Amino acid sequence: MTSSRQLLIIDDEETIQTVVDFGLKLSAGWSLLKASSGREGITIAQEHSPDAILLDVMMPEMDGVATFKALQADGQTNEIPVIFLTAKAQATEKSQLKALGVSGVITKPFNALDLPMLISRILHW
Amino acid sequence: MAIFMHQRQHRSRFRHQRVRPRQNLPRLMGNVNEAIALLNHRGQFVATNALAAQILHNSSAQLKGQYWRDFVNTSLDFSQCHRGSQPTGKQVSLQRSQPGAPQQILEWSLTQNIRPRLHLVIFRDISDRKTQAEAALVQQQQQVELFAEVTLKIRQSLQLDEILNTTVKEVQRILKADRVLAYQVLKDGTGKPISEAVLPQHSAILGMTFPEEVFPLHYQQRYAQGRVVAIADVQDPQAGLAECLVEFVQQFDIRAKLIVPILTSPLLAKSSSPSDHGPAANHAPQPVLWGLLIAHQCTVPRQWNAAELALMQQLANQIGVAIAQSQLVENLEDIVDLRTTALRQQEEQLRLITNALPVLIAYVDRQQRYQFNNQAYEAWLGQTPGQLKGQHLETVWGSEHYQRMGLPVQTVLAGEMISYDHEMVGQDGEHRALNITYIPDMDGQGEVQGFFALTSDISDRKAIERMKDEFISVVSHELRTPLTSMHSALKILSTGRLGTLSEDGQQMLEIADDNTERLVRLVNSVLDLQRIESGDVTMEKQICNAAGLITQAIEAMQPMAQQQGINLVGQSQPLQIWADADYMLQALTNLISNAIKFSPAGNEVSINLEAQPNQTLFHIHDEGAGIPADKLDSIFERFQQVDSSDARRKGGTGLGLTICRKIIEQHGGHIWVKSQLGQGSTFSFSVPDPPTQRTSLSKHQP
């Protein structure tokens, strides 16, 4: 948690992008790249190779699952760990998402200030 | 010489013949209409008259010197040798019968010593009389049999016509009367024979209506009082028959007649018609004249004897009873008809109603065969109720669906009502959700005769439920994203790193933060509850250690307890239960959190286990304010709190206990609370053991 990290958030909700940005910055000094759609996120991921991607599941057009599959299919991005952000709290849904091969699932609502701790735990940083 | 005495009146007649010479004796004896024998003291015949000789099948000359005892199987005792002693009236003795000849029966009387050593025996052959008596007996027997037969008929048959026909036929046969009638007196005073047995040579009068004049009212009244009329000869002026009647009866060749009234009990008849509660019902029962039983002798006069009269009266009485019975039965039949019609109407109404219902209604017998189906079955199965009747469940539904029915059918046939859901594809190819309820049909002894099956299409309801669930789910999820932003923003603000607020500003920020957290909990709870209620969640039951769960729950709630100054005490003795550990933990933390919230600082909250046969009890005890008795029942309902201000003050959602109850119920257990105001509350819940025994569970104990 000491080293400075750069993460990418892909979420159509701008307020989420903002609070996550503040939370990461204030609690751990990490920086955040922001994308509002799957396509935008893939492009940014290819360009900047972030340390991890926070990916919202429910998005219009290209949803989180499709985006994740696209990232996995791309040689430039398939090594980047992905954590889903979901409003679906049910255990079965969580395990379904995990089964896709993502590194972890974080359930909304969360406190953005807790994110660096949660992410470090999931990714064993 | 000898004076022969048989009867006193004879004696006086003989007395003045006493001086007649001895040779007159045979003539005298010949004139007497009795058999007479003179015996000496040894019992030998001295003289006999012609009749005596005839009876003894010998001539008087042959008999002379023979012994009486050789002819009659009783010897005479002449030991009492007083002259003129009273005749010993032996009743009957049997004559020694000749081979092959019919037995003769003699009646005799002995007068001893009419002269010294000379005894008089007067006797007669009564064999014929015996035959007559036997004939009378036979007739009597026949009458008894007839009476028995008619009585039996009356008991067996409630058909009045049949009873009357039998009676007149048999009476005619037994009495050898020319015509026997059952004559009914009608209300207007007229009357008609309604049953008749008549010899072919005489005219039948069956069905003729007789005018009132023939049978005037005052006659009726007398018959009603039981008058019996026996007329040996209607032409005899002493018979007292009015002249017009004599002419009238002569039309039908009637010469002698015997008339007995047929009376019925008005009470019996009355009780049969429930609508008739007239004042007459209160009077003492007066017999009512229904009609007459009449025997006619045509052409010649006939003297009616007492036995015939008695027979007619007894039969008339029986007919009276039969009439009362048949009236009763007719009335009963009317009532039954009425009720049957009413029942049919009800059944028809029921059919109309059941047919109009969008529910499948059926009655299934113990052999699992349909006995009733409403019209709705046709739309579902393409078979009419008529086609379904008598068919076995498996034949109708197919083995796949029948398999699903098996257990519920077994349950209902064991006498328990059961309700279950089932899904199938209807005739129209649409997928349908069904709710099926079986209700056992018990007889008076508690034996199951069959069951009622009510099947309703709950596809619409299921769809609405799904919509509701989806709505709650979507709303809850949609709330989560803005909540995340609010929650995070407030947390970030309250760090003070974006600038410091005034003390008031800081307080407002705390309120916003606290309530955002509460909103988060509420959304989580609503979602939990919806998931459990919708059945989306199945409890993943496994063997787990109850004490371990309590320890985990205490650990989770420790920060909150410390904050409130509450000491948590839990049981650590291991005890295996059969539960979904995650949900059980949720229930425990909910209850512990509740107990902490409602306990004053410095108190203790204890969590204990109690092993019972077939189940384990959890007790969560606090020393708080307690719950008023009137709130104990409703406390597990959603959004019920003891004090509506509690929700705000304690930061609860009002759903915690409801969720607990749902979780416990999903485990097949119960939850309840005992409380005393000012002394705290104990929330308890039970967790049933798995179908296997506790002993097998304890093997897994650590």
- The alpha-carbon gap from B413 to the nearest alpha carbon of chain A, in Å, equals 39
* Chain Cα centroid distance, residue A111: 15
Query: What is d(CA B110, CA A108) in angstroms, rounded to the nearest whole number?
Result: 141
Q: Are A84 and A57 in contact (CB under 8 A)?
A: yes
| pLDDT at res. A32 | 96
Nearest CB among A20, A91, A109 relative to B480 is that of A109
pLDDT mean over B576-584 = 88
Residue in the block written with tokens 């499948």: B360
- The alpha-carbon gap from B656 to the nearest alpha carbon of chain A, in Å, equals 18
Task: Give me B521's structure tokens.
Answer: 């909990």
Return the number of CB contacts < 8 Å for A and B: 63
Sequence-separated contacts (24+) of B411-419 with Cβ below 8 Å = B411/B438, B412/B438, B412/B439, B412/B440, B412/B448, B412/B451, B413/B366, B413/B440, B413/B448, B413/B451, B414/B448, B415/B440, B415/B442, B415/B446, B415/B448, B416/B440
Kindly tell me if the per-residue pLDDT of B264 is higher than 70. Answer: yes
Q: Which residues pair with A86 in a beta bridge?
A: A107
User: Strand B418-425 to strand B431-442: parallel, antiparallel, or no bridges (unpaired)?
Assistant: antiparallel
| Of the ranges B212-226, B242-256, B386-400, the best mean pLDDT one | B386-400
Give the model confidence (pLDDT) of B126-181 as tens digits: 777 767 777 777 777 777 777 777 777 666 666 778 888 888 888 888 888 889 99
Q: In the structure, how many helices (H) and strands (E) does chain B have?
A: 20, 22
Q: Which of B79-88, B104-113, B328-337 is predicted with the least confidence, judged by mean pLDDT?
A: B79-88
Task: Residue A112: list chain B partners with CB under 8 A.
Answer: 484, 488, 491-492
Question: Which phi and psi angles does B505 have, rounded to 5°?
Answer: -60, -40
pLDDT mean over A44-66 = 93
- Report if residue B543 sits inside a domain: yes
- Report if residue B352 sits inside a domain: no
Tell me the longest C-alpha to C-alpha distance in chain A.
37
Length of chain B: 702
Domain range enclosing B560: 538-698
Q: Please count the structural domains in chain B.
A: 5
- Report if residue B658 sits inside a domain: yes
| pLDDT at res. B376 | 83
Give the model confidence (pLDDT) of A94-120 as tens digits: 778 888 989 999 988 889 999 999 999
Q: Does B538 touch chain A (CB under 8 A)?
A: no
Q: Does B524 touch chain A (CB under 8 A)?
A: yes
Residue of chain A whose alpha carbon sits nearest to that of B583: A91
B344 vs B9, more confident: B344
Q: Are A82 and A53 in contact (CB under 8 A)?
A: yes
Nearest CB among B476, B492, B498 relative to A113 is that of B492
Domain end among B419, B437, B457: B457
Q: Does B475 touch chain A (CB under 8 A)?
A: no
Question: Which phi and psi angles does B680 have, rounded to 5°?
Answer: 100, 175
Q: In the structure, how many helices (H) and strands (E) does chain A have?
A: 5, 5
Q: Are A17 and A9 in contact (CB under 8 A)?
A: yes
User: Strand A82-86 to strand A52-56: parallel, antiparallel, or no bridges (unpaired)?
Assistant: parallel
Question: Which phi and psi angles does B134 have, rounded to 5°?
Answer: -65, -40
Kindly tell me if the per-residue pLDDT of B520 is higher than 90. Answer: no
Q: Which residues pair with B451 in a beta bridge?
A: B364, B440
Task: Residue B476: list chain A partners with CB under 8 A.
Answer: 87
Considering the domain architecture, whether residues B243 and B163 belong to the same structural domain is answered as: yes
User: CATH number for the domain including B570?
Assistant: 3.30.565.10
* Contact: B520, A109; criterion CB under 8 Å: yes
Helix (H) or strand (E) holding B138: helix B127-156
Task: Residue A108: list chain B partners with CB under 8 A.
Answer: 480-481, 483-484
User: CATH number for the domain including B503?
Assistant: 1.10.287
Q: Are B70 and B38 in contact (CB under 8 A)?
A: no
* Contact: B491, A113; criterion CB under 8 Å: yes
Question: Which phi and psi angles does B334 have, rounded to 5°?
Answer: -60, -45
Task: Give me B381's structure tokens.
Answer: 């199965």
Closest C-alpha to A11, from A100, A89, A108: A108
- ipTM strictly over 0.90? no
Length of chain A: 125
- The alpha-carbon gap from B568 to the nearest alpha carbon of chain A, in Å, equals 28
| Band of pLDDT at residue B228, cut at 50, 70 and 90 | confident
Give the model confidence (pLDDT) of B624-671 as tens digits: 888 887 777 778 876 665 554 454 455 567 788 888 888 898 888 899
Task: Residue A87: list chain B partners with CB under 8 A.
Answer: 476-478, 480-481
Q: Are B183 and B214 in contact (CB under 8 A)?
A: no
Distances (CA, A) of B425 to B21, B362, B393, B413, B434: 133, 19, 17, 27, 10
Query: What is d(CA A30, CA A33) in angstroms, rounded to the nearest whole number?
Result: 10
What domains does chain A contain, in order, with CATH numbers? 6-123 (3.40.50.2300)
User: CATH number for the domain including B427?
Assistant: 3.30.450.20
Rg (chain A; Cα; Å): 13
Considering the domain architecture, whether residues B274 and B183 belong to the same structural domain is answered as: yes
* Contact: B485, A87; criterion CB under 8 Å: no
Query: What is d(CA B250, CA B234) in angstroms, rounded to the nearest whole number?
Result: 9
Q: Are B36 and B49 in contact (CB under 8 A)?
A: yes
Q: Does B477 touch chain A (CB under 8 A)?
A: yes
Considering the domain architecture, whether residues B321 and B291 belong to the same structural domain is answered as: yes
* Contact: B484, A19; criterion CB under 8 Å: yes
Considering the domain architecture, whether residues B389 and B523 belong to the same structural domain is answered as: no
Alpha helices in B357-458 (DSSP H): 376-381, 385-388, 393-413
Q: Cis omega before residue B261 (within 30°)?
A: no
Query: What is d(CA B118, CA B5) in angstroms, rounded to the nearest whole number?
Result: 13
Considering the domain architecture, whether residues B497 and B577 belong to the same structural domain is answered as: no
- The alpha-carbon gap from B429 to the nearest alpha carbon of chain A, in Å, equals 32
Task: Give me B608's structure tokens.
Answer: 């204990």
Q: Crossing angle of helices B127-156/B306-356, nearest 10°?
A: 20
Considering the domain architecture, whether residues B427 and B472 belong to the same structural domain is answered as: no
Give percent helix, percent strand, percent coil of chain B, each to the nearest 5: 45, 25, 30
